[in-house]
Amino acid sequence: MPLIIVSENEDEEAAVSLMEKGACDYIAKKNLKRLVPVVRRSLRAAENSRRVNITQVALQKSEARFRAITTNLPGVVFQFLLTPDHNESFPYVSNASETLLGLSPHMLMANATLFSRLILPEDKKNYERLLQISAEKLSTLNWEGRIQVKGDSDIKWISLRATPKMAADGGILWGGIMINITRNKLAETEISHSREQLVELSSYLQKVKEHERARIAREIHDDIGGTLTAIKCELVPCLDSTPRLSDFYQKKAAIIESLVDHVIDSTRRISMDLRPGILDFGIVAAVQWQAKEFSRRTNISCHVSCEEEEILLDADLSVAIFRLFQEILTNISKHAQATKVWVSLTEAEEKIVMEVLDNGCGIDPEDMKKQDSFGIRGMRERCQQLKGSFHISGEPGIGTRVCILIPILEMRPAYPDDSVEIPDFKSEYESDQRSFMTINDRRKQ
């Protein structure tokens, strides 16, 4: 409460002394008419003082909370001001700047350019560009870049995020935070390196698998196929002399001949499944052959369109595209319920483009996102290994479209590598057919 002194005497020295000790005013009795205005003024002053004190206490508590928060944040809290004449300053910087930037808050607030000097030259242009965009559009500033602290040989990655607003003087004031993300970037680099190694390993294993398939196909064709052909030839005298054999032995000979024919067909089929010899004649011929085989097995019409008679590809690339085509046709036969398939194979702008469409039941976009869609995931990863892209689209009841784009890295015929010996399936198959025809002709004579 305000203290007002009312005295009998009008003593100036006493009035000054009392007011220095806390009295609000000193009034002589002969001037009592001043009492009411003085009381009102004193009450207003006391109320204003009380409000100021409350505000100051609240402000102190708020500042204490703010400093406690900024002290415990894993980064530097700051305010950055860009004036209308393009002068830069830091009105506020938290104490963490010493640890992250090697600069005290006082140093940064005294000279804002000290921060930009820490940024590596190759990252500085991007920082300035994003800062300008944020200033022009008043959009959030998001920047990641590298800094090198003076006296420290290590380079740090920092993430800076700040929100701008117009300042009273027409400038722009950002409030934000800087965080050290060096560990995250190192982890990303390690993960990326690991992924590259996995892709290289997967690609290598795929090549090894295809080469092993070719070797096994060659062994089956040359060894087992040759032996079976010899057995067939040895049966000819027995079959020619069947009139002199009993019915029992005639039946046995016929059964043996049938079994040998079945094994020969199975051997040829297994060899073709392992590594179709038609690949020796190029990817176009291989795709056309596979389409005919698909139609024969499934009764689904499969039409192939290719403007070029041949597309020269690297050996491994030819096999990879052929395997992708096989996988697409397998998925169609299993899931599409289609009656027609259209295939387009073209070469454009140093890329090979394969597009496969069907008139089946289509595919739900949600099904393409399922974690257990290993067929789609496998094809997509295989295309990524080849530096290409894989696209699949469709709607239920309309059909499905698959498009594969793969860059042609090397223009050379398939399987030129002498270290991988691939049999000439077509010529040997025709030779085998001529041999069997000769055997049958001999039997008819």
The DSSP annotation for 305-350 comes to: E-SSS-----HHHHHHHHHHHHHHHHHIIIII--SEEEEEEEEETT
Task: Using pLDDT thresholds of 50, 70 and 90, give the confidence band for residue 435.
Answer: very low
pLDDT the model gives residue 34: 66
Contacts of 433 (CB under 8 A, 6+ apart): none
Rg (CA), the chain: 44
Domain residue limits, the chain:
4-69, 73-180, 190-275+422-445, 277-419
Q: What is the pLDDT of residue 433?
A: 43
Mean pLDDT for the stretch of residues 120-148: 95
Least confident of 55-59, 109-113, 132-136, 238-242: 238-242
| pLDDT score of 65 more than 80 | no
Q: Rounded to the nearest 5 degrees, what angle is found at the Cα of 394, between the Cα atoms of 390 and 398?
A: 150
Name the pLDDT band for 146 (thresholds 50, 70, 90). very high
Across 51-55, 179-183, 325-329, least confident range: 51-55
97, 112 contact by CB (below 8 A) = no
From the options 3.30.565.10, 2.40.10.10, 3.90.1200.10, 3.50.50.60, give the CATH code of 277-419.
3.30.565.10
Identify the weakest region by mean pLDDT among 73-77, 215-219, 417-421: 417-421
Token reading at 414: 């398939």
Is residue 290 predicted with pLDDT exceeding 80? yes
Per residue in 317-342, is it b (16+ CB within 10 Å) or e — as a string?
A: bbbbbbbbbbbbbebbbebbebeebb
- Of 213-227, 231-245, 286-300, 316-330, the poorest mean pLDDT is in 231-245
pLDDT average, residue stretch 12-25: 63
Through-space distance between the first and last CA atoms of the chain, rounded to whole angstroms: 139
Higher pLDDT, 23 or 193: 193
- Edge to edge, what strands does the sheet with 351-358 contain? 301-305, 340-348, 351-358, 399-407, 389-395
Task: Give residue-wise pLDDT tens across range 379-392.
Answer: 888 888 888 999 99
Q: Given this model, what pLDDT does residue 154 score?
A: 81
Residues 98-116 have pLDDT tens digits of 989 999 999 999 999 999 9
Q: Is the pLDDT of residue 238 over 70?
A: no
Q: 38-58 burial string, b = 16+ CB within 10 Å, else e? A: beeebeeeeeeeeeeeeeeee
Q: What is the mean pLDDT of residues 280-289?
A: 89
Residue position matching structure tokens 């020969």: 264
| Single-letter amino acid code for the residue at 201 | L
Q: What is the mean pLDDT of residues 169-184?
A: 93
Greater confidence (1 vs 125) lies with: 125
| Per-residue pLDDT at 418 exceeds 50 | no
Residue 267: per-residue pLDDT: 80
Q: Any residues with CB less than 8 A from the CB of 173 and at least 6 apart, and which?
A: 79, 80, 81, 82, 91, 164, 165, 166, 167
Determine contact, residues 140/162, Cβ cutoff 8 Å. Answer: yes
Given this model, what pLDDT does residue 21 score?
63
Helix (H) / strand (E) containing 173? strand 172-180
pLDDT at residue 2, as a whole number? 62
Name the more confident of 351 and 395: 351
Number of helices (H) and strands (E) in the chain: give both, helices first: 14, 12
* 347 beta partners: 352
Q: Report the mean per-residue pLDDT for the chain.
A: 80
Neighbour-count burial for 66-83, b at 16+ CB within 10 Å, e otherwise? eeeebeeeebbbbbbbbe
Residue-wise pLDDT tens digits, 214-237: 788 777 777 777 787 788 777 767
Determine the pLDDT at residue 1: 59
Record: fold of 73-180? Beta-Lactamase (3.30.450)
- Per-residue pLDDT band at 443 (split at 50, 70, 90): very low
Q: What is the largest CA-CA distance in the chain?
A: 165
